[in-house]
Structure 1
Amino acid sequence: MATPRPARAARVLLPALVAAALLGGCSTTVTGTAAPDPAPRPTEGVGADPVAWGDQVCGALLSYYQPLSARPDYAGADLPGIKDRLSGYLGNVRTGIDTGKQQLADAGASPVSGGDQFRTSIEDLLNRTGTTIDEARADVDQADPNDVPGFQERLQAAEEKLRTIGAAEGLDQLGATPRLDKAIAEAPRCGELDALTAPS
């Protein structure tokens, strides 16, 4: 693996979550030959250390994926309870996205080639997903537990929106990035992200 491919969980977790409401990683291998990197190296801040920079970027994704993975427990919940728990869950995911976007901004410029494209792809993912989460939460919040067919329609509409959440685009176009790969392989939060998004 080179850089994390960070959207594996969304396609699985969210549809399963909504279905439940209606019903009541990869190994790291660094390859390539060491060579001078043409990217300018920042002299201060997180970006001065490739591992610290990679850790910050992976931390931004963790801020999103950790609440995304914390699916609510609907045990014993009636329809109003399902609505409240699902809305709260989506709100937590939205907060995680906002936190992640701030962490990306704090990371600053990459000290290694490919890093800025990686960071931009993650930022795009968070922006697109934030819009989708907002729209899905609006559907949930408008659901009327006293109107069971309408309630189901609203949750199904939310599910359809959540199914559109995809991967960070452009990561497959990075090419060989041995220094970026090495920094990510050594960054603790990148390891946490890899474990969190690994297929079960």
Structure 2
Amino acid sequence: MRTRRFSCTLAVLAALAAGCGDAAASEDTVAWTNGVCGALAGFTRAASSGPQVDPADPVASVQGVHSYLGSTSEEVRRSLSALDAVGPSPVEGGDQYVARLQEALRSIRSGFESARTQLAAVDTSSPEALATAFPAAVAPLQELRGLPDPTEGLRENEELRTAAEQAPACRELRGTGTPSG
């Protein structure tokens, strides 16, 4: 249910590492690209798991979504720290690619934190308040669907596309499922 809102965002992030190419990339470029993809692994796994939502138990659903948002926000924080640690790109355009990726992740984290704050204020003892407040609390997550596609630079740069194909963390990231539907 809630994972639908994240499908587009996760697909965009997973696509960051889904490039392909025929030319060989330098070892430095493959290592750097591997670090970038590795930085996304925890977030992608956490976001792909989706929140626990039980329509028959709205209180547990609020708690499940709140927990999901918290753990996924933490993984976004880790991804941002890991991206900071990869260092400068050995390829022209790589630093701009990472900057767009970081901007997208910050936007995701902001949306998750906003929704979490609103969920914390939901009165779960009142079915009427819950029916009104729960959808309003998760509404900021809709904004995530409008994130710009940060893969433009990766697609335009043949060496980064090729490096992503060769990097083990990128191949693993491509194997991480995104939520369906």
Measured against the shorter chain, the TM-score band is: 0.7 to 0.9
Offset at residue 67 of structure 1 (A): 0.8
Match in the other structure for 2:100: 121
Q: Relative to structure 1, is the Cα distance of residues 122 and 85 closer, same or farther in structure 2, using a 3 angstrom cutoff?
A: same
Extract unaligned runs of 5+ from structure 1: 1-7, 15-24, 42-47
TM-score normalised by the chain length of structure 1: 0.72
Offset at residue 79 of structure 1 (A): 2.8
- CA deviation profile, 1:65-106 (whole Å, cap 9, x unmatched): 211111233459733322222111100011001000100010
Match in the other structure for 1:4: none
Match in the other structure for 1:29: 20
After TM superposition, the structure 1 stretch with the greater mean CA deviation from structure 2, 169-178 or 102-111, is: 169-178
1:92 corresponds to 2:71: yes
1:29 partner letter = C
The alignment partner of 1:49 has SS state of helix
Identity between Structure 1 and Structure 2 (%): 26
Match in the other structure for 1:186: 166
CA distance in 2, matches of 1:199, 1:74: 14
Match in the other structure for 2:110: 131
Higher relative contact order by CA 8 Å / sep ≥ 6: 1 or 2?
Answer: 2
More helix by percentage: 2
Q: Relative to structure 1, is the Cα distance of residues 174 and 192 closer, same or farther in structure 2, using a 3 angstrom cutoff?
A: closer
2:173 partner letter = L
CA distance in 2, matches of 1:117, 1:181: 15
**Structure with greater Cα Rg:** 1
2:162 partner letter = K
CA distance in 1, matches of 2:63, 2:129: 16
2:166 partner letter = E
Say whether the 8 Å CA contact 2:30–2:167 is kept in structure 1.
yes
After TM superposition, the structure 1 stretch with the greater mean CA deviation from structure 2, 83-92 or 53-62, is: 53-62
Equivalent positions of 1:42-191 (< 5 A) are 49-74=28-53, 78-166=57-145, 167-172=147-152, 176-191=156-171
Q: Relative to structure 1, is the Cα distance of residues 77 and 62 closer, same or farther in structure 2, using a 3 angstrom cutoff?
A: farther
The alignment partner of 2:91 has SS state of coil
CA distance in 2, matches of 1:176, 1:60: 21
1:195 corresponds to 2:178: no
Extract unaligned runs of 5+ from structure 2: none
CA distance in 1, matches of 2:86, 2:47: 22
2:51 partner letter = P
